[in-house]
Chains A and B, each alone.
Chain A
Amino acid sequence: MRSVGLSDKIFSIVVGSLVIMTFIIMVYPLLFVVSASFSDPVLVLAGKVGLFPKGFNIKSYVTVFQEPDVYTGYKNTIIYTTVGTAVNIIMTTLGAYPLSRKKFYGKNLFTAMLAFTMIFNGGLIPKYMVIKQLGLVNNFWVMIIPDAIQMWNLVIMRTFFQKNIPDEIYDAAMIDGCSNIRVLKSIVIPLSKSIFAVMVLFYAVSHWNSFFTALIYLTDERKYPLQIFLRRILIQNQYTEGLINTSGESAAERMFAAEGMKYSLIIISSLPILILYPFIQKYFVKGVMIGAIKG
C-alpha cells in the first residue's frame, strides 16, 4: 500500500505541473497581446514588457480608431456575418430536415450525393470559373452564397433532428393533417433551439474569421472584410493612411506606432468573440459532441 501512495503522489505532482505548464503556454501569448496593446510601443519593441503593461497608455487604440480601413472592414464583416449566418441557417435547415425524415424517399441517394462532396471536389480553379460565370466575382453575394452550406454542420443538424424528434410526433402531426412544412415550423424548430444556437455560433465565427473567399473573389477595397485589412497590417507590415496621419514625422516613430497598433488591432478585431466566448463556450462543446457521434 505504501508504494501505491508514493507513486500516486508523484503522479499528482506530474499532473499538477502539466496543468501549470499548459496554463502558461496557452494564456501567456494572449495576455502578452493585451499588455502590449496598453503599453508604450517603444518598450514593447525593446522587450521590456513581460506580463503587465509598461508605460501604460491607450495611444495604440487611438491610432486604430483613426484608421479608415478598420472601419470599412469592421462594417463589412458585420454585414457579411449577419446576412451570411442567416442564409447558412436557412439553407442548412432546408437540407437537414428532409434528410432527417424517414419518409423522405430517395434520402440515401441525396445523402450520398451531398456527402460525396466532402471527400472529392472540383478544386480551386473550376470553382472560380463557375463563380465568375455566375457574375459573382467582386459581388457582395460571393461572400454569402458559395459557402451557404457547410456539409459538416448539415450532418450535425440532421443527426440532432433524428435523435431528438421522435417519429410519433410526425405520425401524430400527419394524422392531424399537418403538412411537412408546417411540422418544421411549429414542431421541429421550436424543439431544436439548442442546435440552432450551436449552428449560429459555428457559422458566425467562420464568417467573422473568413479570409480566403475575400482574397480570391473580391477586388474592390470597399468590400473587403476585416481579415483582409488585418493581413495587410499584421503580416505584410503595410503602412496605412491612419498611421501616416497620426504618428510623428520620423520613420522610427512611425514604426513604433505601427507595432503598437498591431496589438490593439488584434484585440479590437477579436473583441466580439472574446466578449461572448465565456457565455457561449458550452454551446460549442455541445456542437462538437453532436458532431462526434457518427451520423
Chain B
Amino acid sequence: MKSELVESNPFSKHYNKTSRFYTFKKAVLPNWDLYIIFLPVLVYFIIFKYLPMYGVQIAFKDFSPIRGYLGSSWVGLKHFNRFFNSYYFWRLIRNTLGISLYQLIASFPAPIILALVINEVKNKHINKAVQMVTFAPHFISTVVLVGMVTMFLSPRGVINNLISLLGMKRISFMTEPAWFKTIYVFSGIWHNVGWNSIVYVAALSGISLELYEAAIVDGANKFQRLIHISLPGIMPTAIILLIMQTGKIMNIGFEKIFLMQNDLTKSTSDVIRTYVYQVGLLDAQHSFATAVGLFNSVINFILIVTVNKISKKVSETSLW
C-alpha cells in the first residue's frame, strides 16, 4: 500500500494540484462502490458522534431550546466556574478518583492471579470447568448483578445471616456510605475477573514449552518457573491493559454506580457522570451539565493521551 499511495498521497513532497485529479481517477473511482458501502457508517458517525461534539458549544452558552444552538448567547466559562466553586465539586472529584483508583488497584491483579492459577491446573477437565465457571458472571446484566448484591447484602440477606450467626451485629451495607466503594469494587471483580483473565490465559499458553523444560533441567521448582517464566511472559499484555484501564479513570462505570447508589450513600457514591445525569436530564440544566460533562471528557482525553505517550517511551507498547 505504501508504494502505491506515495504518488497520490496529498502529504507527500511531490504532491501538486494536478495529482489531485490523478488520485481521484486512479484510487477512488475504481473502488467507488466501497465508498457507497461506507457511506451509511460515515453518516452514522457524523450524526451520533460528531454532532454531539458540535453541540458541546452549549457549555459556553446559556442554552435555551427556543433560541437553539446558534441563537443562544455566549457566556464564556460561567458554567465551568459555577461547577468549580460548587459544593459538590470536590466531593465528585474525590468519589470519581477514589472509586477508580480503588478499582484499579484491587481489580487489576485479580485476573492475572486467576490466569496463573488456571495455567497451573494441568487436568484438562478441571481447567475447562474453572474457565467456564469464572467467565459465566460476565453475562449477567448489571441490573441483575446489582439486584443480587442488594439482596445478598440486605439486613436479612445471606451475608448478614452469616454475620449474625458469628454473633456480630448486622450491617446495613447498602445504606452505609463507608461500604459503597468496597461493594462496588468487589462485586465488579466477581462480575468480570474471569472475562478479563481470558487474554492472560491465552498469553500464558503462548509461552514456549522449551523455556519451562530448560528451567526444569536447571532445577527450578514450580514456583520459580512461575516467577521467572510465566510472569514475565504476560507482562506486555498486562502493561497494555493497565494503560487502557488508567485511561478509563474518569469514565468510571456509570450504569452500575447509578443502580447501586441511593440518597443515603450519595456522599461517597456520587461521581461526575451520575451528577451530569442528575442536573442535566432530571433538573434540565442543559448548559451547566454539558460543561460538567465536557470537563470530564477533556480530563479523560488528556489522561489517555498522556498514559499512552508514557508507555510508548517506557515499554514501547502503546495503543496507537
Contacts and interface: CB of A to CB of B under 8 A. Distances in A.
Interface of A: 1, 3-4, 7-8, 11-12, 15, 18-19, 22-23, 25-27, 29-30, 32-33, 45, 47, 91, 94-95, 97-99, 101-106, 110, 113-115, 117, 119-130, 134, 145-146, 148-149, 179-181, 184, 205, 208-209, 211-212, 216, 227, 230-231, 234-235, 259, 262-263, 266, 269-270, 273, 277-278, 281, 284-285, 288-289, 292, 294
Interface stretch (B80-88, B97-105, B176-184, B290-298): B290-298
Nearest to B58: A126
A119 B148 contact: no
A7 B158 CA distance: 38
B147 A262 contact: yes
B314 interface: no
Given A101-B31, A126-B290, A270-B140, A15 B134 contact: no
Contacts of B280: 124-125, 128
B219 A26 contact: no
B249 interface: no
Given A11-B223, A130-B48, A98 B144 contact: no
Contacts of B130: 19, 22-23
Contacts of A18: 113, 117
Name the residue among B48, B130, B142, B277 with the largest chain A CB count within 10 angstroms. Answer: B48
B58 A266 contact: no
A7 B135 CA distance: 31
B202 A270 contact: no
Given A7-B223, A26-B190, A121-B52, A266 B148 contact: yes
A123 B294 contact: yes
- Size category, B interface: 35 or more
Contacts of B28: 105-106
B41 interface: yes
Given A1-B219, A130-B48, A134-B47, 13 more contacts: A15-B120, A19-B130, A29-B152, A45-B156, A114-B41, A119-B305, A126-B51, A211-B141, A266-B144, A266-B147, A270-B139, A277-B136, A277-B139
Contacts of B152: 29, 32
A216 to B, nearest CB: 7
The secondary-structure label for the interface of chain B is helix
B74 interface: no
A91 B33 contact: no
Interface in B153-200: 156, 158, 161, 165, 190, 194-195, 198-199
A110 B289 contact: no
A148 B226 CA distance: 44
B117 A22 contact: yes
A3 to B, nearest CB: 8
Given A4-B219, A29-B148, A124 B1 contact: no
Contacts of A8: 221-223
A285 B126 CA distance: 18
Interface of B: 1, 5, 8, 23, 27-28, 30-31, 33-38, 40-42, 44-45, 47-56, 58, 113-114, 117, 120-121, 126, 130, 132-137, 139-144, 146-148, 150-152, 156, 158, 161, 165, 190, 194-195, 198-199, 202, 219, 221-223, 226, 237, 240, 247, 254-255, 258-259, 273, 276-277, 280-281, 286, 289-290, 293-294, 296-297, 300-301, 304-305, 319-320
Given A11-B223, A130-B52, A180-B34, A124 B273 contact: yes
B195 A288 contact: yes
B290 A123 contact: yes
Name the residue among A4, A91, A146, A263 with the largest chain B CB count within 10 angstroms. Answer: A4
B118 to A, nearest CB: 8
Contacts of A216: 281
The 6 closest A-B pairs by CB, nearest first: A122-B52, A234-B147, A123-B293, A126-B55, A47-B161, A209-B141
B47 A269 contact: no
Contacts of B139: 205, 209, 270, 273, 277
A146 B52 CA distance: 12
B150 to A, nearest CB: 6
B55 A129 contact: yes
Contacts of A15: 117, 120-121
